[in-house]
A = this chain, B = another copy of it.
Amino acid sequence: MAPNVLLHGVGAIGAIYLHLLLKAGCRVTAVCRSNYDAVKANGFTIDSVLYNTKDVHVKATDVVRSPSEAAAHGPFDFLVVTTKALPDAKTAAAIAPAVTDGKTCIVLIQNGVGIEDEYVARFPGNPLLSCAVYLPSTQISPGRIQMGNQELLEFGTFPDTAYDDSAAVKAAADSWLEITKKGGSNCVFQPNIQVQRWKKLMLNASWNPICALTLSRDVAFYLATDVAEHVVLEVMLEIVHVAQALGFSEITPEMTEKQIGNARKRIPGPGIEPSMLVDVLNGRRMEVEAIVGHPVREAKRLGVSVPRLETLYALAKALDDAIAFRKPGQSLSGDYKRV
């Protein structure tokens, strides 16, 4: 029988996997929130540089407003989370009505580190897959998606050892690989997915808060001072040091050079807008804890010095608060009303 999939929080990233999972023959229910009305009426419309396609219409098998509403379309083989990893979201609790204990495999397509714990605590008997995704994609208006030139989905089990320790987890992981590849995804099984997450964090924990705090694209930050490159490199190195203290010896200082080189190559173009910059420019919450806060806490636990990352964390969280607590039309500095 065709796998029955629930996509929770279908925005830019979710829409691409909706497209691929439908192509793989899955039955897919989409939980849409801010874009519900548009998607319910017209589905998604996707332009893709990678696939060289325009105006591709994509309609989920069912479109619902919440996991509770989705439950009628279950039981689900996979429940794929593509929302932002925000602590206040309490996503594990939110999806519970659509999770069949011991059966539904939960797939997290989210940035950051330390994001799996709430799912393990809530669903100890369910297979859990953790993914690092490289997929530049934007929802320019409700249901309208522009996808860039890359789609790479690295995934593994949580914890890593579960693949070998549990036949049910192994079966779920193998099935996820099979259906995503069948749909055309560049999906790769990673026995050490946490290493991949920390590798991606080198990029995310540096450029994301830096661009959000400066309201600048990466190239603009790079060109503003003669110390910018050194600052970015040092932040990346701090992530390397924490990763190595965690035992991830595959993550090396040399990797930072390649990452900074990618930014250098974008000069003198416009550069890129990391997700946190897009969030702050749109007055939305940023994934500060998953991307910056968790590594800072890990560094403290492990006794690793991360002065720059800690500074970025304190700054980014305060900016996130300023956005969250301001009144509409009020200066962001008016946030003292919250005390």
A259 at the interface (CB under 8 A from B): no
Contact yes or no, A314 B216, CB < 8 A: no
Bitwise, A280-321 to B at CB < 8 A (1) or not (0) is 010000000000010010000000000110111111011111
What's the nearest-Cβ distance from chain B to residue A59, in Å? 32
| A315 neighbours in B (Cβ, 8 Å) | 210, 213-214, 315
- Which label, helix, strand, loop or mixed, suits the secondary structure of the A interface? helix
Q: Is A277 close to B, CB under 8 A? A: yes
**Are B221 and A318 touching (Cβ within 8 A)?**
yes
List the B residue with the shortest CB-CB distance to A211: B333
Q: How far is the CB of A268 from chain B (nearest CB, A)?
A: 4
**Complex: A308 Cα to B306 Cα, angstroms:** 10
Is B213 within 8 A of A319, CB to CB? yes
Query: In whole Å, how far is A291's beta carbon from the nearest beta carbon of chain B?
Result: 14
Asked, given contacts A215-B332, A281-B332, A336-B219, whether A231 binds B322 with beta carbons under 8 Å apart, the answer is no
Chain B interface: which of A49-57, A135-143, A172-180, A222-230? A222-230
Smallest Cβ-Cβ distance to A300: which chain B residue: B227
Q: When the two chains form their complex, are residues B216 and A319 in contact, meaning their CB atoms are under 8 A apart? A: yes
Copies in the complex: 2
- A199 interfacial contact with B, CB 8 Å: no
Q: Is the CB of B224 within 8 A of A317?
A: yes
Complex: A311 Cα to B234 Cα, angstroms: 10
Residue count of chain A within 8 Å CB distance of chain B: 52
Q: Is the CB of A231 within 8 A of B319?
A: no
A167 to chain B, nearest CB (A): 43
Chain A window 55-78, contacts with chain B (Cβ cutoff 8 Å), 1 for yes, 0 for no: 000000000000000000000000
Interface residue A116 (Cβ < 8 Å from any Cβ of B): no
Contact check: which of B216, B312, B322 meets A318 at CB < 8 Å?
Answer: B216
A273: B residues at CB distance < 8 A = 333
A329 within 8 A of B: no
Pairwise interchain contact A217-B314, C-beta atoms closer than 8 A: no
A271 at the interface (CB under 8 A from B): yes
Query: Is residue A22 within 8 Å, beta carbon to beta carbon, of the partner chain?
Result: no
A339 within 8 A of B: yes
* A214 contacts B318, C-beta separation under 8 Å: yes
Closest chain B residue to A310 by CB distance?
B227
Q: How far is the CA of A113 from the CA of B333 in the complex (A)?
A: 27
Q: Contact: B220 with A296, CB < 8 Å? A: no
Most buried by B among A296, A315, A323: A315
CB-CB nearest 7 A-B residue pairs: A270-B336, A215-B332, A214-B318, A224-B318, A268-B339, A231-B314, A221-B318
Q: A216-B322, A220-B318, A220-B338 are in contact. List 12 more A-B contacts (CB 8 A).
A: A210-B318, A214-B315, A214-B318, A216-B318, A216-B332, A220-B333, A224-B314, A228-B314, A231-B314, A235-B311, A269-B339, A308-B311
